[in-house]
């Protein structure tokens, strides 16, 4: 691949500050080097954090993103900065999880995408949020997300 395909990337290889909000975060993409093949890409963020919009207390989640790329891949450093931008963002679990999935989908134009948001308990109740764009293409191996249900101390 020639270097000029990466000339529009603003974050890879640079010194970057954490964006102050998800809206400010720049999510970038790179060309898929195997667009002739359907395959699954997985990103796992086991220490995702955001803030409760009412109490200001931190909320924690284990995110598992699976997608089947078309022409584009999400650039991983920009994804990391985008997810980190939620650290000071106040929103409910459902809003965070679904907006992350939709933003990644809009940038990558993925053939298929699934995001599991496994949120740790708040007030004694864990909340899990799942977003999926439809049926995946046939014949593509998509492993289970492998995140166990919350079991507490037992």
Domains annotated for the chain, with CATH where assigned, are: 18-132 (3.30.1130.10)
Catalytic residue from among 4, 15, 59, 96: 59
Q: Which residues of the chain register pLDDT less than 70?
A: 1-7, 9-14, 152-154
Q: At CA 136, angle to CA 114 and CA 79, rounded to 5?
A: 35
Strand duo 72-74 + 112-119: pairing: unpaired
In this predicted structure, what is the pLDDT of residue 59? 95
Which pLDDT belongs to residue 124?
A: 83
Whole-angstrom distance, CA of residue 32 vs CA of residue 6: 12
Q: Would you call 38 a catalytic residue per the annotation?
A: no
- Name the pTM for this structure: 0.89
Helix (H, G, I), strand (E, B) or coil at 99: helix
Among the options 4, 36, 38, 52, which is catalytic? 52
The per-residue pLDDT for 6 is 61
**pLDDT of amino acid 1:** 46
**Within a 13 Å sphere around the CA of 143, how many CA atoms are in the beta-carbon half?**
9
Establish whether 52 is a catalytic residue. Answer: yes
């Amino acid at each position: 691949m020639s270097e000029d395909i990466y000339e529009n990337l603003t974050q890879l290889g640079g010194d970057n500050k954490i964006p102050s909000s998800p809206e400010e975060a720049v999510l970038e993409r790179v060309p898929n080097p195997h667009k002739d093949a359907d395959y699954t890409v997985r990103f796992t963020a086991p220490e995702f954090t955001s803030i409760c919009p009412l109490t200001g207390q931190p909320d924690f989640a284990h995110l598992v993103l699976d997608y089947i790329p078309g022409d584009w891949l999400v650039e991983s450093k920009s994804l990391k900065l985008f997810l980190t931008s939620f650290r000071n963002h106040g929103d409910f679990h459902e809003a965070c999880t679904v907006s992350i999935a939709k933003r990644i989908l809009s940038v990558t134009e993925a053939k298929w995408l699934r995001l599991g948001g496994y949120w740790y308990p708040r007030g004694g109740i864990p909340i899990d949020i799942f977003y999926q764009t439809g049926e995946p293409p046939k014949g593509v191996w998509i492993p289970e997300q492998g995140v166990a249900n919350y079991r507490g101390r037992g």
